[in-house]
Amino acid sequence: MSTLTFDSLNPATGEVVGSHPKHDAQAVHEAVARAGAAAEWWAALPPEERRRRLLDYKAVITRRLRELAALVHEETGKPVGDATLEIVLAVTHLDWAARNAAKVLGRHRVATGMLGLNLAATLEYLPLGVVGVIGPWNYPVFTPMGSIAYALAAGNAVVFKPSELTPGVGVRLAELFAESVPEQPVLQTVTGLGETGAALAADPRVRKVAFTGSTATAKRVMAACAENLTPIVAECGGKDAFIVDADADLPAAADACLWGAMSNAGQTCAGVERVYVVDAVYEPFMRELSERAAKVKAGQDYGPITMPAQLDIIRRHIDDATKSGKVVTGGPDSVRAPFVDPVIVADVPEDSPAVREETFGPTITVRRTRDAQEALELANASAYGLAGTIFSRNARRATQLARAMRTGMTAVNSVISFAGVPALPFGGIGDSGFGRIHGADGLREFTRPKAVSRQRFALPGMNLTSFRRGPDELERLIRLVTFLHGRRKR
């Protein structure tokens, strides 16, 4: 590997998948400059033309699904089927963003109220210009596309810095975009290590940064952005809880829990990490769960740990959990680098690292709780707040619990289902970050609201914003406002 390029490796085999430039600050700044011109061109296109181009991009990705899935498989190690699923989801979001941008963001009239009787008011959401997207490796198509598709649909140009572990996928996404939009570099990919992302965040011409990754790096990105008052969207993972209530369909809950925790080798920001099961169904649920877990194997049902350094964290959490808790499935020997078989440990203290810190591996802790309320309280006692799951046959009770969960998203009787509903915003609170991708909120995230109020006629005897305003006008105003707002509500 020369100093000017770096290799991406297949984490399962160690083989080189591709070699990519390490774009330095100068190269990043040049890309941002090109993006500035492209942003103007893209924003000036009629909305229906942007929509047409984005739907065409969607079709291009769909037609290349197998090829792209093979590349995702090579760079992340995940099975081709899982790679296919994430691309399908990304395509669904691209479709929604393209079709809904004009409706959500377009100029529309808003009511002006009694005091603004003589005004007409309009609101629209205008593009920001250049958006920087810093992406992770765990879902190298789906996750960045949650920002890229919505930022593009909102009329921005995007400079995308993929994770150094999945640069080939990032490069391919931009190449495919150029098939639909050959005129201008509206979507560019810059490759490199952390410094490349840092240069992107520090460029004052980048109007917003959409970051997905760890909380610690989000803070560094935010500090760089603070220099220029550049706003950021931060999607920083979580420690998501899975609650099994007394009336839950236990086989379905166990099945969903296992998949939510172990699929993608647990490297899912909204994956299941903590499980709370109410006392009444604890034993039968654990039987269902452990029987299923015994049949799931790394390297067969899911791929390797993509980032080598992650193995140390996973190992530390397994050691910590198995020392203090009761092993249900697997244990320290489940780590067969780069693979990790499922690990389930019960009764791990709530203040231990395995329960508090993000593991990002195929491991879960399980705890018995008195009832669903106690489960919810434990679920909410986390610094993170990304997503969670409730299993219960009582739809009303489940919805109440879901609404009370201190997270951005909750799935009921399914796992991570919110991610496949493009109209639903995605994002968290607390250490999980802030801002939203997906849905109408995700479109607005990459815009600035533009408000215009126009006086249609002068209100006789009510010229309030003038030095010629007299006591009579003020008196009329006091009478009007007393009539409108002075009465107490009964």
Binding site for ligand NDP (CB under 6 A): 134-138, 143, 161, 163-165, 193-194, 197-198, 201, 212-214, 217, 220-221, 235-237, 269, 307, 310, 313, 358, 360
C-beta closer to ligand NDP: residue 39 or 169: 169
**From 74, 235, 357, 445, the catalytic residue:** 235
Pairing of strands 206-212, 232-235: parallel
C-beta closer to ligand NDP: residue 305 or 405: 305
Please, what is the minimum distance in Å from the beta carbon of residue 205 to ligand NDP?
16
**From 269, 273, 288, 445, the catalytic residue:** 269
Distance set, CA 440 to CA 56, 86, 141, 269, 482 (Å): 21, 21, 20, 21, 37
Please, what is the minimum distance in Å from the beta carbon of residue 66 to ligand NDP?
25
- Active-site annotation holds for 269: yes
Please, what is the minimum distance in Å from the beta carbon of residue 484 to ligand NDP?
48
Please, what is the minimum distance in Å from the beta carbon of residue 414 to ligand NDP?
20
Please, what is the minimum distance in Å from the beta carbon of residue 436 to ligand NDP?
14
- Active-site annotation holds for 257: no
C-beta closer to ligand NDP: residue 155 or 197: 197
C-beta closer to ligand NDP: residue 101 or 199: 199
C-beta closer to ligand NDP: residue 237 or 435: 237
Active site members: 235, 269
